[in-house]
Amino acid sequence: MNKKTWLFAVLLILGIALIGLSFIFKADSTKAVQGIMLGIGAGLMGMSLARLSMIKHVENNPDLGRQAEIDMKDERNVMIRAKAKAASADVTRWFIMSLAFLMILINAPLWTTLCVVGVYLLYHVLALVFMSYYQKKM
Amino acid sequence: MKNRLETLRKERGIRQEELAETLEVSRQTIGSLENGRYNPSILLAFKISRYFGLPIEEIFIYEENANE
């Protein structure tokens, strides 16, 4: 078994364990903990199963695996992915700002509005951090 | 930037898939290069140049006013 298979096998077991353990927290006071454990457990289980089946599929079809690797590293595809991520982040930024105004309009508690504005500011701070990082790196 | 990639490839009777496999890029990238929709990185340009045994400027044609 290679490193990736081990990693996803461990994550799968962790996901199943989290789902199993979540049933301990049935009480009303720990419902939130149960929900979080179920959510993370199901997410880990789904992702690990998908990745493990992908690894198995590639093992049985080495040509497919090589093509997938070429497609992943292909410079045009890398550029397309980076541009798509940047464009989706830009669009999401406007949605977050609109959400902040919506919060004000519906008289939502101040902390929720501040949280949304915080996320908006975080976007700009992260953009500056990454710009500085890439300016030094490139 | 214009290029002679399609002409050179066809002259040598190579399929896009074969060229893509040798250069370790996707077939779509070869198609985009040939259509002039995508300009290659300097690394890929060198790979292409070595593959055809020609200088880069004989494959890729730089035009001063292309972006105006």
Nearest beta carbon to residue B24 from set A70, A76, A77: A70
Q: Give the model's confidence band at A27: pLDDT under 50 very low, under 70 low, under 90 confident, else very high.
A: confident
CA A32, chain centre distance (Å): 21
Interface test with B, best of A71, A73, A74, A80 (most B CBs within 10 A): A74
pLDDT tens digits for range B11-40: 999 999 999 999 999 999 999 999 999 999
Tens of pLDDT, residue by residue over B53-68, are 999 999 999 877 655 4
Please check the confidence at residue A39 and state whether its pLDDT lies above 90: yes
* Cβ-contact A48, A12 below 8 angstroms: yes
| Chain A residues with CB-CB distance to B41 below 8 A | 75
Identify from B29, B37, B43 which residue to disrupt to test chain A contact, counting A C-beta atoms within 10 A and taking the largest count. Answer: B29
Q: What angle do CA A69, A70, A75 make, to 5 degrees?
A: 120
Question: Does any CB of chain A come closer than 8 Å to the CB of residue B38?
Answer: yes
Chain A residues touching residue B20 (CB < 8 angstroms): 70
Q: What is the pLDDT, as a whole number, of residue B67? A: 55
Q: Which residue has the tokens 């001063």?
A: B64
Shortest Cα–Cα distance, A71 to chain B (Å): 6
Query: Of A71, A73, A76, which has the smallest distance from its Cβ to B38's Cβ?
Result: A76
Answer whether B25's CB lies under 8 Å from B46's CB. Answer: no
CB A41 within 8 A of CB A19: yes
Sign (positive or negative) of CA dihedral B34, B35, B36, B40? negative
pLDDT in tens, A68-117: 889 999 999 999 999 999 999 999 999 999 999 999 999 999 999 999 99
Asked if the model's pLDDT at residue A66 lies above 90, the reply is: no
Q: How far apart are CA B57 and CA B49, in angstroms?
A: 9
Residues on chain A bordering chain B, Cβ-to-Cβ distance under 8 angstroms: 70-71, 73-77
Q: What is the ipTM of this complex?
A: 0.87
Domains of chain B: 2-61 (1.10.260.40)
State the pLDDT confidence band at A6, using cuts at 50, 70 and 90.
Answer: very high
